[in-house]
Every structure is written in structure tokens, then in C-alpha cells.
């Protein structure tokens, strides 16, 4: 046998704030790895997503005790709420608007999601992100998500949304 068994622990952690407590500590303990080393590596890799729930998978080789960490991408709504600097969206989306973010925030979130999305165009991911804004009750550039989507479809924001490859 060349390689030991691989064991995966998947968990949602708060970016930059994972700890040796549950769920990670107790799961890592029996695997014989240095828990604090793993935790600090997770925190280092999730620091950009402070305060957001981030999916994390730790893979441990049970023979060599070598470990790897894979960091997922927070949900679009978590990213948007961070850009808008609010904790949660509107309870009554479509009638109550709780925040207003700029097109640059949409582009930023769309770029993060593009890496994990099946879409190949920033423009289509941006429209998904704007759809999420609709659910959260967040306007973009002072416009409702519906108005914004119409402007994107008409090409008004192309210079921000078309990546010249």
C-alpha cells in the first residue's frame, strides 16, 4: 500500500475565525494532526472572507498525517451583504430596500463567483448576483435590480462587465 487512507472533514467556518473548538477540533483530534497548525492555516486562507461563512474541507492522510485544506467560496448573498456592509437582507424583498451598492461591488462579487460558476461570461454572473440583490432588498447604483438588469441587457455597463481576453 503506497498511500494511507484519506479522510475528509468538511465544515462551514467563519472566515478568519476558525477555532480548535467544534466542529473542527474534535474531528481533527483523532487524526493525529497538529490541530492549531491546521486551524491557523484555515484562518490565513479565509481571512479575506472575514465574518462570512466559508465552506472548508480538510483532507488528512491517515498514515503520513499530511493534510491539505481546500477553501470554498461563500454564497453570493454572503458576499453581497459584506459589500453592502449589512448583516442581513430585507425581510420583504421587492418592497423594502435595505441598502444600495455600486456596480463595482457587483463586479467584485461576480468575479469571485465566476471562478466557481459554470458561466463563462462575467456579464451573466453579474446578472445572477443582481438577482440575489433582489432577494436581499439591495439596490444597485440607486436602481432596483430589475432596472439594473435591463440596463445591463441594453449594454449600458459593458465596459465594466466585458473582460477583454
C-beta separation of 56 from 28 below 8 A: no
Q: Mean pLDDT, the chain, as a whole number? A: 90
What percent of the chain stands above pLDDT 90? Answer: 72
Name the pLDDT band for 164 (thresholds 50, 70, 90): low
Whether residue 70 is predicted with pLDDT greater than 70 in this model: the reply is yes
Section 137-154 average pLDDT: 96
118: left (phi over 0), alpha (psi -120 to 50) or beta: alpha
Confidence at residue 4, expressed as pLDDT on a 0 to 100 scale: 65
SS3 state at 40:
helix
Name the pLDDT band for 1 (thresholds 50, 70, 90): very low
Residues 6+ apart with CB under 8 A from 147: none
Confidence at residue 136, expressed as pLDDT on a 0 to 100 scale: 94
* pTM beyond cutoff 0.85: no
Confidence at residue 10, expressed as pLDDT on a 0 to 100 scale: 93
The pLDDT tens digits of the residues spanning 17-60 come to 999 998 899 999 999 999 999 999 999 999 988 888 899 999 99
145-153 vs 122-136: helix crossing angle, rounded to 10: 170
Whether residue 165 is predicted with pLDDT greater than 60 in this model: the reply is no
Amino acid at each position: 500500500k503506497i498511500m494511507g487512507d484519506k479522510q475528509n472533514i468538511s465544515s462551514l467556518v467563519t472566515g478568519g475565525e476558525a477555532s480548535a473548538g467544534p466542529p473542527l477540533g474534535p474531528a481533527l483530534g483523532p487524526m493525529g494532526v497538529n490541530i492549531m497548525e491546521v486551524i491557523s492555516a484555515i484562518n490565513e486562507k479565509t481571512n479575506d472572507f472575514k465574518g462570512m461563512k466559508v465552506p472548508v474541507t480538510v483532507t488528512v492522510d491517515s498514515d503520513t498525517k499530511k493534510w491539505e485544506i481546500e477553501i470554498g467560496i461563500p454564497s453570493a448573498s454572503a458576499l453581497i451583504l459584506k459589500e453592502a456592509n449589512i448583516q442581513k437582507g430585507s425581510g420583504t424583498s421587492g418592497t423594502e430596500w435595505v441598502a444600495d451598492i455600486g456596480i463595482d461591488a457587483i463586479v467584485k462579487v461576480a468575479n469571485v463567483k465566476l471562478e466557481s460558476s459554470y458561466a463563462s461570461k462575467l456579464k451573466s454572473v453579474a446578472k445572477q448576483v443582481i438577482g440575489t440583490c433582489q432577494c436581499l432588498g439591495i439596490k444597485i447604483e440607486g436602481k432596483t435590480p430589475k432596472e439594473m438588469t435591463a440596463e445591463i441587457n441594453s449594454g449600458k455597463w459593458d465596459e465594466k462587465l466585458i473582460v477583454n481576453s
